[in-house]
Amino acid sequence: MSWFSLRADLPPMENAGPILMVVLGILITIAIITTSARIYARIRNRIFGWDDAMMLIAVAFSIARLAVEIKQSQYGNGKHRVYLTARQYMMINMYGWYGQIFLFTSVAFLKVSIGFLILRIKDTKAFKILVYSLMAGVVFTNGGVVIILLAECRPAGFWRGSSAKCWPSHVRIYSIYATIAFSVTTDLVLSIIPLFIVWKVRMPLKTKVSVCCLMSLGLVATGFGIARAASLKGPTTDLSWTYCIAAIWSNLELFLGIIAANLAIARSTYSYIFGRRTASQSDSHYKVGSPSASAGEIFLSQKLRADRCDERATTVDSKNINRRPSVPRSDHSDVGLVPDNGIQMKMEFWLKEEEIEMQRQHR
């Protein structure tokens, strides 16, 4: 019988480290696969944007976080402090310090990526102000925690113990609470608003429901963010155990956020890679000029001309006949869009999705 088993006041000899490693292995694999497919399709379609660049940076920092968590596990991360040597505990906290920096940096880039992705769907002035404000708040709160982690001790690193002069630990902990609270709020807003936008888009109900379900996956990550905040209430004298539990929730929040953002555009990615539509009826139509035209990536590089469309409707509006109109012109015609006689003509073009998909595959 060991000496530890004779101590009734000791915590159980348990280890959450293997659970953390299994969760990490599964999540990082799915995140890398979905991100790679997304970036490949975006580059091949020539629509690589800021949202994709930010996602790549977020994934890079998440991989760096994975590396330091593997190092932590080698020193016994996930065990209670009493079962670790002083050196093991110090090394776990040192790598944990780096892991927190990578975590908050990755979360910031992830939220910014989601913001840019949503701006592809709707980019009105009021909506831009809202999304950019949320993005700025995310950068400020997560960046603030990183600055606190770097500045709270001299020399840097709370793991140094009495050899370092540090601020009170509650400064760091409360800043993390504030960051999590703002992050959860941002997740709710960025997950719910696109649902209303997509629901108004003219597309088959089956496609609409599937897209909304994919976008709502971000709400699952929000729930894990709340769980992470709750897990930080554990004892600060047993960080090898407390922070390992918090790391499980934070990794679920981070990687599910990455996966959800990639799956939100999975339909266009899958269609490009496998060369076929996956969630649409064969006779579905999208009306150019409707909300779907700005929401669907398939319209981003289309150049519409009347002589290339089989179906079109023309309406005439003469209510402004006494008003002298301006004479705007299209990029591919010398004919003014508003005739000189004051009669305004509007043409509506309808394109079949399979025709657009065929054009994209032959570009």
Q: Contact, 218 vs 191, CB < 8 A?
A: yes
- pLDDT-based confidence at 110, cuts 50/70/90? very high
Structure tokens at 140: 């400020």
Distance from CA of residue 92 to its chain's centroid? 29
- Most confident region among 70-74, 261-265, 352-356 by mean pLDDT: 70-74
Angle at 327 between CA 325 and CA 333, to 5 degrees: 145
Q: Contact, 218 vs 187, CB < 8 A?
A: yes
Rounded distance between C-alpha atoms, residue 158 and residue 187, angstroms: 30
Residue 3 belongs to some domain of the structure: no
Q: Residue 335 above 70 pLDDT?
A: no
Rounded distance between C-alpha atoms, residue 180 and residue 340, angstroms: 59
Q: How many domains are there within the chain?
A: 2
Residue 346 belongs to some domain of the structure: yes
Residue of 277, 301, 285 whose CA lies nearest to 348: 285
Residue 348 belongs to some domain of the structure: yes
Quote the domain boundaries for residue 139.
10-273
Using CA atoms, how far residue 343 sits from 129, 315, 321, in Å, is 36, 10, 6
Average pLDDT taken over every residue of the chain? 74
Residue 131 belongs to some domain of the structure: yes
CA dihedral 280, 284, 286, 291 (to 10 degrees): -50
Q: Residue 301 above 50 pLDDT?
A: no
Q: 336 and 261, same structural domain? A: no
Instruction: Tell me the per-residue pLDDT of 323-334, one tens digit each, with 9 for 90 and over.
Output: 555 545 544 444
Q: 253 and 342, same structural domain? A: no
- pLDDT-based confidence at 29, cuts 50/70/90? very high
Q: Contact, 24 vs 69, CB < 8 A?
A: yes
Mean pLDDT of 1-28: 78
Q: Residue 125 above 90 pLDDT?
A: no
Q: 226 and 112, same structural domain? A: yes
Q: 244 and 161, same structural domain? A: yes
Q: For 26-91, list the strands marked E by DSSP.
A: none
Rounded distance between C-alpha atoms, residue 23 and residue 83, angstroms: 23
Looking at residue 95, the DSSP 8-state letter turns out to be H
- Most confident region among 44-53, 105-114, 192-201 by mean pLDDT: 105-114
Mean pLDDT of 229-235: 73
Q: 355 and 268, same structural domain? A: no
> Domain with 189 in it: what CATH number?
1.20.1070
Q: 171 and 30, same structural domain? A: yes
Q: 352 and 230, same structural domain? A: no
Q: What is the pLDDT of residue 103?
A: 93
Residue 27 belongs to some domain of the structure: yes
Mean pLDDT of 256-284: 62
Burial class (CB in 10 A: 0-12, 13-18, 19+), 163: exposed
Per the model's pLDDT, the better-predicted residue between 124 and 352 turns out to be 124
Q: 322 and 197, same structural domain? A: no
User: What pTM did the predictor assign?
Assistant: 0.69
Q: 257 and 312, same structural domain? A: no
Q: 78 and 209, same structural domain? A: yes
Q: 231 and 100, same structural domain? A: yes
Last residue of a domain, one of 227, 257, 273: 273
Across 126-135, 187-196, 315-324, least confident range: 315-324
Residue 288 belongs to some domain of the structure: no
Last residue of a domain, one of 225, 254, 273: 273
Mean pLDDT of 35-60: 90
Q: Residue 115 above 70 pLDDT?
A: yes
Q: Contact, 351 vs 286, CB < 8 A?
A: yes
Q: What is the pLDDT of residue 318?
A: 47
- pLDDT-based confidence at 239, cuts 50/70/90? confident
Reported as half-sphere exposure (CB side, CA atoms, 13 A), residue 345 has a value of 13
Residue 294 belongs to some domain of the structure: no
Q: 307 and 252, same structural domain? A: no
Across 223-237, 277-291, 336-350, least confident range: 277-291
Q: Residue 74 above 60 pLDDT?
A: yes
